[in-house]
Amino acid sequence: MVYENIGIVGATGAVGSIIRQLLEERNFPYKTITFLASKRSAGTKLTFRGEEHTVVEMTPDAFNDLDLVIGSTPDETAQEFAPWAIERGCVVIDESGYWRMDKTVPLIVPEVNPEAIKDHKGLIASPNCSTTQMVVAMQPLHAAAKIRRVIVSTYQATSGAGVAGQAELTDSSRASLDGQAYDRKTFAHPIAFNLIPQIGGPKHEGYTSEEMKMVYETRKIFGDDSILVCPTCVRVPVTNCHSESILVETEKPLSAAEATQLFRDFPGITVIDDLANGQYPMPLGCTGNDDVYVGRIRKDLSCENGIAFWCVSDNLRKGAATNAVQIAELLVNSAATV
Ligand SMILES: NC(=O)c1ccc[n+]([C@@H]2O[C@H](COP(=O)([O-])OP(=O)(O)OC[C@H]3O[C@@H](n4cnc5c(N)ncnc54)[C@H](OP(=O)(O)O)[C@@H]3O)[C@@H](O)[C@H]2O)c1
CATH number where 276 lies: 3.30.360.10
CA 236 – ligand 1 centroid, Å: 20
Query: 10: Cβ below 6 Å to ligand 1?
Result: yes
103, 164: one domain:
no
| The pLDDT of residue 129 | 98
Using CA atoms, how far residue 19 sits from 23, 24, 26, 46, in Å, is 6, 9, 10, 13
Tallying the residues shown for the chain, one arrives at: 338
What pLDDT shows up at residue 2? 85
Q: 37 CA distance to ligand 1 centroid (A)?
A: 9
Q: Let me know whether 83 and 211 are in one domain.
A: no
**pLDDT at residue number 334:** 86
Question: Does ligand 1 have an atom closer than 6 angstroms to the CB of 96?
Answer: yes
**Ligand 1, atom 36, residue with closest C-alpha:** 10
Are 107 and 227 part of one and the same domain?
Answer: no
Indicate whether residue 42 lines ligand 1 (CB < 6 A): no
pLDDT of residue 1: 74
- What residue owns the CA closest to ligand 1's atom 9? 96
In CATH, what number is assigned to the domain containing residue 78?
Answer: 3.40.50.720
Find out whether the beta carbon of 13 lies less than 6 Å from any atom of ligand 1: yes
Ligand 1 atom nearest the C-alpha of 157 is 3
| Residue ranges for the chain with pLDDT beneath 50 | none
The response to whether 296 counts as a known ligand-binding position is no
The pTM is what?
0.97
pLDDT recorded at residue 47: 96
Do both 29 and 144 map to the same domain? Answer: no
Domain limits at 144?
Answer: 131-314
The residue type found at 68 is L
pLDDT of residue 118: 93
Ligand 1 centroid vs 168 CA: distance in angstroms? 16
Whole-number Å distance between alpha carbons of 299 and 307:
5
Q: pLDDT tens across 109-126, in order?
A: 999 999 999 989 999 999
Q: What are phi and psi of 62, to 5 degrees?
A: -65, -15
Please give the distance, rounded to the nearest whole angstrom, from the Cα atom of residue 94 to the centre of ligand 1: 11
29 and 121 within one domain: yes
Instruction: Give residue 42's pLDDT.
Output: 98
One domain, residues 120 and 140:
no
Cβ 160 under 6 angstroms from ligand 1: yes
Q: 330 and 281: one domain?
A: no
Instruction: Report the distance separating Cα 216 and Cα 100, nearest Å.
Output: 9
Cα four-point dihedral sign 25, 26, 30, 36: negative
**Among the atoms of ligand 1, which is closest to the Cα of residue 11?**
43
Is the same domain home to 294 and 325? no
In this structure, the answer to whether residues 137 and 266 fall within a common structural domain is: yes
Written as one string, the DSSP assignment of 246-278 is EEEEESS---HHHHHHHHHTSTTEEE--BGGGT
From the CA of 75, give the closest atom in ligand 1.
45
Regarding whether 71 and 149 lie in a shared domain, the answer is no
Indicate if 151 and 296 belong to the same structural domain: yes
The reply to whether 223 and 111 lie within a common domain is no
- At residue 337, the pLDDT reads 64
User: Ligand 1: does its nearest atom lie under 6 Å from the Cβ of 16?
Assistant: yes
Q: How many domains is the chain partitioned into structurally?
A: 2
Q: Which of 38, 81, 136 to mutate to test the pocket of ligand 1 (most atoms within 8 A of CB)?
A: 38
Catalytic residue positions, numbered: 129, 242
Indicate which atom in ligand 1 lies nearest the CA of residue 42. Answer: 40
